[in-house]
Chain A
């Protein structure tokens, strides 16, 4: 049986301080008043209580990253590949659904030809998860095969309990990471195990359940349903849903250049923008917002399934939480199922 270890807040801080010695720490921290995932220098900045505004996907697929540098001297061009990460990344405070989202990005970037920019960061990373004891009202991860205490994809799972945290080593990597602060841990007793169980039950009960399987099946012949026009009529095409979604990964590649040198960068992009598919000839295969709204939903719920046998949404609800016009994925699912 898996073993839970209790750590007091001191031990927790010692743990992430130690992690900071060997890894680049990527964790929720307050920046400009908002709790967001970011690289943290000082382990005391880590703030686990609130679910961060952003997902941690940027640790592996940064919003902007250099793919290569070049120098130009007359007709001589010299290319230098991007820098490799110096030390591996430890994501602390990643939620179970977000770890699930990384498992959806993996097949995209690791299928040949391998995208080493992503895979190198990902392969050496340590994921220290944080169980959701009080899910947001947007959450529906249990409808997508996950749950607020899901260990899958994590190396360590932390649960907040009275007086501190309980930690579970999910993988051998996770066990070794905890080993460093072994002296400060004590085995969780019956009372603590009972508390973890109770919190798990409460969190799962709080979650709304949707019939995603039926939704996916219904999409087959819903291509021409007026529902897409109805959503498109409200959507303002801001792209927030895609930037904040932990499973969205579309990107653009651009050159930034001075007179004698420059770099080729990859930046996040969004399928919600018309320019995303606009061809240089002026032709656009997805000219209308309704095409783009539909593409987003069908990509996640049908084509991901066709391609990888996985649903491309983890039910984090971020897209609904932050949509300025309240386009709510949960409503879309229940409405399509109802029609």
Chain B
């Protein structure tokens, strides 16, 4: 008998790390499957996580694919499910469905320089991507990362960022919106900092994820600087329930973000923008 696509697998919380604190705190969860199986996914894909009795919410996998029994995802506390996750403790059981969606086309990008631009919790899928690239380092050209948040306290993955900063094959730029005592990184909104950086579009793929407004301005900035729309990628967010192209809500025109995305090129976004039936794609 065929199984319901809505039936999650059970997972155990192995580790919880506090990324940021404040009004909208972020925690990263490391989980393992209780059935002993492994997670097969690619950077950019998502998982539908459930807290039984509260509900489901979708998150980008934030760890790189390792083929082992673990995955990580990072959760910003916003509503019912995300708050329940923030109350959860190591050892508790969650439900996991997926992975879902179209990942970053990392194989197509072989041999290219990569420019990765993130904001806030948008760093989650990018962390998976960066981890992947670092473990296939020889397949790619230069790797530049620009990551920003409101304040230094709102930056995620600070341990890893520190490690990346020390590598000579990663060029890391951190920025915060307003100056702070003791901050030695950049100051300014991500799209503005990007314009000042003036990255070359030459043989480069740009990937961005963050709040919708940031994505919009970053993509426009990249296009202004001569990046062709086919070489600009982002991952989009829509409210999701099923995650598998059935419930209808995550559409942008004929595309369902849950199954045709969440990764899209700017070229695809421009194409679907006409008549997308909404207040714009972003």
> Which A residues have a C-beta under 8 Å from some C-beta of B?
67-68, 70, 72, 75-77, 79, 81-82, 84, 108-109, 111, 113-117, 120, 219-220, 222-223, 249-255, 257, 262, 264, 266, 269, 271, 276-281, 283-288, 291, 294-295, 298-299, 302-303, 306-307
Contacts and interface: CB of A to CB of B under 8 A. Distances in A.
Given A114-B2, A262-B53, A280-B82, A287 B7 contact: no
B247 A109 contact: no
Chain A interface helix/strand/loop/mixed: mixed
B238 A277 contact: yes
Contacts of A72: 52-53
Contacts of B239: 276-280
Nearest to B212: A283
Nearest to A251: B247
A75 B91 contact: yes
Contact of A257 (B54, B95, B279): B54
24 contacts: A70-B52, A75-B91, A79-B7, A79-B52, A113-B5, A116-B2, A117-B4, A250-B249, A251-B241, A251-B242, A253-B241, A255-B53, A257-B52, A271-B248, A277-B238, A277-B239, A277-B249, A279-B238, A280-B239, A291-B279, A298-B253, A303-B251, A303-B254, A306-B254
B277 A291 contact: yes
Contacts of B52: 70, 72, 77, 79, 255, 257, 262
B79 interface: yes
Given A220-B275, A253-B241, A81 B7 contact: yes
Nearest to B246: A115
Nearest to B274: A223
Contacts of A278: 239
Contacts of A84: 1
Interface in B226-282: 237-239, 241-242, 244-249, 251-254, 274-275, 277-281
Interface in B1-50: 1-8, 10, 50
A76 B93 contact: yes
Given A79-B7, A252-B241, 14 more contacts: A68-B6, A79-B8, A84-B1, A108-B245, A111-B245, A114-B5, A115-B244, A251-B241, A269-B241, A283-B212, A286-B279, A288-B279, A291-B279, A306-B254
B249 A271 contact: yes
Contacts of A255: 50, 52-56
Interface of B: 1-8, 10, 50, 52-57, 78-79, 82, 91-93, 95, 211-212, 237-239, 241-242, 244-249, 251-254, 274-275, 277-281
Contacts of B242: 251, 253
B237 A279 contact: yes
B81 to A, nearest CB: 9
A92 to B, nearest CB: 28
Given A77-B10, A79-B8, A276-B239, A294 B277 contact: yes
A24 B10 CA distance: 34
A70 to B, nearest CB: 5
B249 A269 contact: yes
B248 A249 contact: yes
Contacts of B79: 280
Contacts of B5: 113-116
A303 B82 CA distance: 33
- Residue of B53, B56, B78, B274 with most chain A CB atoms under a 10 A cut-off: B53
A225 to B, nearest CB: 11
Contacts of A252: 241, 247
Contacts of B50: 255, 264
- Residue of B2, B55, B95, B248 with most chain A CB atoms under a 10 A cut-off: B248
A266 to B, nearest CB: 8
Rank and list the top 6 A-B pairs by shortest CB-CB distance, nearest first.
Answer: A257-B53, A303-B254, A250-B248, A223-B275, A295-B277, A280-B78
